[in-house]
Structure 1
Amino acid sequence: MIRDFIDREEEREVLKKEWNSDGARLIIIYGRRRVGKTRLVNEFIKGKEGIMFFAEDVTVQIQINGLKAEIAGYLNDELLQGLTIKSWTELFTYILKNPPEKRSYLIIDEFTYLIKSDKSILSAIQKAWDRGLSDSNWCIILSGSLLNLMSEYALSYTSPLYGRRTRDMLLKPLEFKDAKLFLSQNEKDSLKTYFTTGGVPEYLQKASEYGTFEEFVRNEFFSNFGYFYREPYFLLSQEFRELKTYQGILSAIAEGRTKPSEIAVNCGIDTRKIYPYLEGLIRLGFIEKETPFLSSQKSGIYIIKDSVIDFWYSFVSTNRSEIERGCYTNTDFNKYFGKKFESFVRNEIAPAIFPKARTGRWWHKGEEIDLIAVDDNAKMIVFAEVKYGTKSASDALKILKKLEKKSEYVNNSTKNNEDYIQKYALFAGEITDKDKIMDRDKTKGDNYLVYDLDDMLKYLM
């Protein structure tokens, strides 16, 4: 079933402006697999005319013949149809000399398959562009999923396309406010599903087949025939050759070994040699480096950013034998959800509540603060704890008082600036008798803020 197209208003507006601009356009769209690049392009071309070519991982000559046939068909060009063309340079030279009379699109989906087969396609496009293709009516879109190839050959400073592309667009996963529109589950289960799939549209499409989170993960993660049972292996194998090393890195991080030295020991390689592997995973959006907020410390830790990768290496990877036998019954995901809930609050809720603030997590010598938000315009700094479960009003007050003391460990010029108001916040899944805390704040001036999940989601509407 094809669902209504969700979000991507900003991306669609950018493409619309490119289409309406003078001269030819050369647009590069890239992003991880399943993120919705093809669907975005299909929405964009509605009501327009042109060529949509789906590249395949086949020989160069088959690729050239395929694109040639599409162009000949669109231009109604019998001469081109009968020509024998053996190189990308020949084909793009012909395109240069026979431009369309009106604005037309030429879209190559999975462009990285063409780069993978023959990198000369990049210089062929560059030469045609410089010789006059840039003045034609073509709106060319090159879309690719193999991010290492796209980064190195299509987007880098050394790429033949550097300085020619008129726009490049990294398509990111959806945030929760849009992701939940795919799902018919209740609010809490929708959030759990989001913590498991991230905002990847194709993953959400699969999750939309289930009315509960438990039913979804049981059938699609913890089943030998599940959609996600082998998904991480597929994603890694498309990008990397040394699969065992990358799998070892992800396993180590999922188990809590987040420092480069710890990760290297787990993989059995020298710490100095681990960094290129980490950078490769960062490029793909699978992991990210995190350093303490409001700190001069440059060394940081590495965490898994991609939710499917994170959930899979946390629960599926280490339990495959039980899953294969159909006897894996674990349903205790609270520690995992607690971690993802913290990230959700930092990345999506805090920017909505404090839109002008800089935000991040702080830690030092065993002390940690889940969220600090600094609004330099309002001269306000907010220290916050994030708790996934349910807290009573008395629990919440204890957490806030402890947080107030913990904030004294943060040694930073902004924090120490007397002109800044300091507030203390608790974000929790549920807070019973929440009003008692707010009433206390009014009478005692504690500068306490409390938000439960219902409060948070209102800011996303």
Structure 2
Amino acid sequence: MFVGRQSELESLETAYQKGSFQFAVVYGRRRVGKTSLLRAFTQDKPSVIFFTGQQTVASENLALLSREMLGNSAAGAAFPSIQVALESVFERAKAEQVILVIDEYPYLAESDPGVSSCLQTLIDRHKDKSNLFLVLCGSSMSFMEHQVLGHQSPLYGRRTMQLRIDPFVVFDVAQMLPDAPIERIIELYSVVGGMPLYLSQLDSTRSTQWNLEHALLRQDAFLYAEPQNYLLQEVRSPAIYNGVIAAIANGCVRPKEIADVTRLATPQVARLLDALIDLRIVERVTPVAKATKRQVVYRICDNLFRFWYRFVPQYTGTIEEGLGAAVAARIVKRDLSSFVGPTFEEVCRQWLIRQVVEGELDVLPKAIGSWWGTNPATRHQEEIDIVLEDADGELVVGECKWRNEPVDTDVLETLERRSALLGRPIKQYYLFSKGGFSEACQNRATQASSARLVGLEQLL
């Protein structure tokens, strides 16, 4: 089932309709749905060559490319070189519009290091006369950003468009889980995130506990092995990366704290964190609107990794004894609510951005995130779940409560008090609640025109 990616499809289609030479760079993490997007884009086009680079020698990639270009009847490598094969595509595209997709381009470039320079020469020579729609697609984020898009690449400056494919936001997740109620959608999103392949492993008609047991907490489950397999594919020393991710999952959010737990040198931890950021597993976070240099923290931004490293290591023996059902039941009973809380905050931020896009919230976002800091009067740490900074300096602030009890007026009053610490004008206050709102809170919000209450049914 193909869902979402409408803006990406529209961008590709708009470029295709120009009928001139186009060079699109499409990149994103493994499992994010790049190939599915390109298959959807090319499915109704008359002339398409869809080649997937393999992690093999250049001669084998040449043979595979030849078969894609000439049909399965082509014996071996019908072209003497990849350069000649690509030259023929550019020539063919002078007479008709041709789409050439090279998926997993880093594998092709690894087997034939001269292919980027070859493409540069062909583009410069033929772009004014060719109707080729060239797509280079890859999962190696660092390679695509530095060796294709970067200024040191022979291809620098040749692209006509680039698309970084990110995981689904919660609204797309809801389309992939059509039979799940809103609460379960958010719970499952908090567990596996927005990767389409991960979501396809779930059963939206079943409970969160059932999905934990069958899709994650079994030795034969695809998602059980996925974080470890992903690291094995992407890094040379998975063990030290495991240690860093586990430290963050268990509350160590600063390099010095991670170094103390892992017994790695702080400079080494800094390099590992940079690599994990490139892999979109970890993110560097600072408070919005009023931050200091000391307030930098690191968080796991991939929900599957956050869940896996939070729970699986401590229950590995139990799971491997076949007791995944008992582990799932314990997690749901004891830990799930607090685990979902940070994801619920992110869902609410996504909803606010959608309100902006749809014209329901009149701001121009400069940044969105959270805020934390010390109250100078009480010397206690204070937090605000959502802070959206407008380009004009005004703020939209919000508090998110993932609990069954209705939110009362004290939550709004606390939000108003904490917001005063930011020293900026507040355009709008938002309260988001899983359990709804007390009558007193609703009356208080009605009286204050700048306060708005949002329940689950309004989010999705």
Q: Report the alpha carbon displacement of residue 451 of structure 1 after superposing the two structures with TM.
A: 2.0
- 8 Å CA contact retained: 2:182, 2:456: no
Counterpart of 1:116? Answer: 110
Identity among equivalent pairs (%): 28
Choose which of 385, 398, 401 in structure 2 pairs with 1:370: 385
Residues 148 and 442 of structure 1, relative CA distance in 2, 3 Å threshold: closer
Q: Which runs of 5+ in 2 are unaligned?
A: 375-380
- 8 Å CA contact retained: 2:169, 2:350: no
Counterpart of 2:432? Answer: 427
Aligned to 1:53, what secondary structure does the other structure show?
Answer: strand
Aligned to 1:206, what secondary structure does the other structure show?
Answer: coil
- 8 Å CA contact retained: 1:115, 1:149: no
Counterpart of 2:457? Answer: 454
105-114 vs 271-280, which moves further = 271-280
Separation in 1 of the partners of 2:444 and 2:277?
Answer: 45
Aligned to 1:35, what secondary structure does the other structure show?
Answer: coil
Q: Does 1:302 align with 2:298?
A: yes
- 8 Å CA contact retained: 2:371, 2:384: yes
Choose which of 401, 407, 425 in structure 2 pairs with 1:387: 401
Counterpart of 1:164? Answer: 158
Cα deviation, 1:50-103, whole Å, max 9, x if unaligned, reads 2111222222110011112322349x9x8x987562x43343344445545210
User: TM-score scaled to structure 1, two decimals?
Assistant: 0.87
User: TM-score scaled to structure 2, two decimals?
Assistant: 0.88
Residues 406 and 90 of structure 1, relative CA distance in 2, 3 Å threshold: same
Q: Does 1:275 align with 2:270?
A: yes
Q: Report the alpha carbon displacement of residue 134 of structure 1 after superposing the two structures with TM.
A: 5.5
Aligned to 2:369, what secondary structure does the other structure show?
Answer: strand
Choose which of 310, 314, 317 in structure 2 pairs with 1:321: 317
Choose which of 25, 28, 31 in structure 2 pairs with 1:31: 28
Q: Report the alpha carbon displacement of residue 231 of structure 1 after superposing the two structures with TM.
A: 0.2
- 8 Å CA contact retained: 1:107, 1:142: yes
Q: Name the count of aligned residue pairs.
A: 438
* 1:29-428 correspondence to structure 2 within 5 Å: 29-48=26-45, 49-73=47-71, 83=78, 85=80, 87-97=81-91, 99=93, 101-133=95-127, 135-183=129-177, 184-208=179-203, 210-299=205-294, 300-327=296-323, 328-329=326-327, 330=330, 331=332, 332-349=335-352, 351-352=354-355, 354=361, 356-358=363-365, 359-365=368-374, 366-375=381-390, 381-392=395-406, 396-410=408-422, 412=423, 415=424, 420-421=425-426, 423-428=428-433
Separation in 1 of the partners of 2:124 and 2:248?
Answer: 46
Residues 248 and 82 of structure 1, relative CA distance in 2, 3 Å threshold: closer
Separation in 2 of the partners of 1:309 and 1:316?
Answer: 10
Cα deviation, 1:263-313, whole Å, max 9, x if unaligned, reads 222332221232222122112211111101112424411111111111111
Letter in 2 for 1:70: E
Separation in 1 of the partners of 2:136 and 2:441?
Answer: 55
Aligned to 1:257, what secondary structure does the other structure show?
Answer: coil
- 8 Å CA contact retained: 1:111, 1:142: yes
- 8 Å CA contact retained: 2:64, 2:77: no
Residues 97 and 354 of structure 1, relative CA distance in 2, 3 Å threshold: closer
- 8 Å CA contact retained: 2:27, 2:137: yes
- 8 Å CA contact retained: 2:123, 2:158: yes
Letter in 2 for 1:429: K
Letter in 1 for 2:173: A
Separation in 1 of the partners of 2:102 and 2:415?
Answer: 53
Cα deviation, 1:117-164, whole Å, max 9, x if unaligned, reads 232211111122222255312211111112222223122111111111
Q: Which runs of 5+ in 1 are unaligned?
A: none
RMSD, matched Cα: 2.5
Q: Report the alpha carbon displacement of residue 441 of structure 1 after superposing the two structures with TM.
A: 4.2
Separation in 2 of the partners of 1:134 and 1:242?
Answer: 46
Q: Report the alpha carbon displacement of residue 398 of structure 1 after superposing the two structures with TM.
A: 1.6
Letter in 1 for 2:453: V
Residues 209 and 63 of structure 1, relative CA distance in 2, 3 Å threshold: farther
Residues 82 and 391 of structure 1, relative CA distance in 2, 3 Å threshold: closer
Q: Report the alpha carbon displacement of residue 30 of structure 1 after superposing the two structures with TM.
A: 0.7
Residues 117 and 126 of structure 1, relative CA distance in 2, 3 Å threshold: same
Separation in 1 of the partners of 2:43 and 2:252?
Answer: 48
Residues 104 and 422 of structure 1, relative CA distance in 2, 3 Å threshold: closer
Aligned to 2:158, what secondary structure does the other structure show?
Answer: coil
Counterpart of 1:436? Answer: 440
